[in-house]
Structure 1
Amino acid sequence: MAAKDGNPGEMTSNPERRTQLSDLIRRRRAELNQGLDKFAARAVDPVSGVRVTRGWIYRLETGEKVTPPVYEELCALAAAARLPIEAVQDAAGAQFHGVDPLRSGTGEAVAYVRKLDRIPPEQRERLLRLIDTLVPPESDEDR
């Protein structure tokens, strides 16, 4: 909570608005060159069949209030965005719960991960393949 009117004893209940998931989905839709309808049609969890509606995605992207997504909805968003579920979970955790997944990493690791978002998608894929040759994934989920 932040102090209101400079008085430290008076607190407001409006924390800084976080937009990590909103930004991730909006940016990824643009990278995939997909309209909202096409993206929403693909937003289906492949395991449970749970769908994320066009309206929910629209409200998320435009900063309107949305119900925080459950795991199956995050899986649906990950499928539509063609992203690993971990990336979507991290963004949702940061936006809806204020969780910074990088806090526990070393300073060097955090710096590398933060730079990763600035690398174009095709170069990220090449970088991941290079990293996998240096440090093989521990399981199929890491691929």
Structure 2
Amino acid sequence: MSDSNGPAGGTGGALTALVRAVLDQPGMSFRRLAEAAVDPETGYRIGQTWLHKLTRGEVSRAPEPQVLRALAAGTSLPLTRVQQAAAEEFLGYTASELAGMPEDALVIVGHLADMDPTDLPQVRAVIEALLSKGDESSGKREV
């Protein structure tokens, strides 16, 4: 038996919340999510029953890697974000260096982790240009 925040018999945790948030989006349903949740590496498909169990906090074991890849594909979230949510919910592990960041920032960081390293300098240049533009409009200058 676990507490109300644990995976078994409770309300779930980070992965459960992530999937619930996707299901709360307009036009999304368990059926649509299950249809989209296909592991690109193995072709493994997540069933609606498993998704229902997850959202009710009835999944007691950490999902297999193919399930996490399928969830990432179905939710259109970076795989690293899905893996982090599963680690938090089922292993009690939280990446402390990302704790406290807004959800949008976590999604961006997750996408960066999955990018080709040769593309990262271009992304950095875009971010620096945006920051520079913000500094100019607020009257701040780099020293």
Matching residue's letter, 2:99: V
Distance 1:37 1:55 in 2: 10
Number of aligned residues: 109
Q: Per-residue displacement from partner, 1:30-76 (whole Å, max 9, x unpaired)?
A: 22531111111111101111111111110000112343211111000
Deviation above 4 Å: which 4+ runs of structure 1? none
Give the root-mean-square deviation of aligned CA atoms: 2.8
Q: Relative contact order: is structure 1 or structure 2 higher (C-alpha 8 Å, sep ≥ 6)? A: 2
Identify the residue that residue 72 of structure 1 maps to in structure 2: 66
Secondary structure of the 1:49 match is: coil
In structure 2, stretches of 5+ residues that fail to align are 7-12, 113-122, 129-143
Aligned equivalent of 1:110, options 90, 95, 99 = 99
Q: Give the strand-richer structure, 1 or 2.
A: 1
Q: Give the helix-richer structure, 1 or 2.
A: 2
Identify the residue that residue 100 of structure 1 maps to in structure 2: 94
TM-score (norm 1): 0.64
1:1-143 residue pairs with structure 2 within 5 A? Answer: 14-15=2-3, 17-18=5-6, 19-31=13-25, 33-101=27-95, 103=96, 105=97, 110-111=99-100, 113=101, 116-117=102-103, 132=124, 133-134=126-127
In structure 1, stretches of 5+ residues that fail to align are 1-12, 136-143
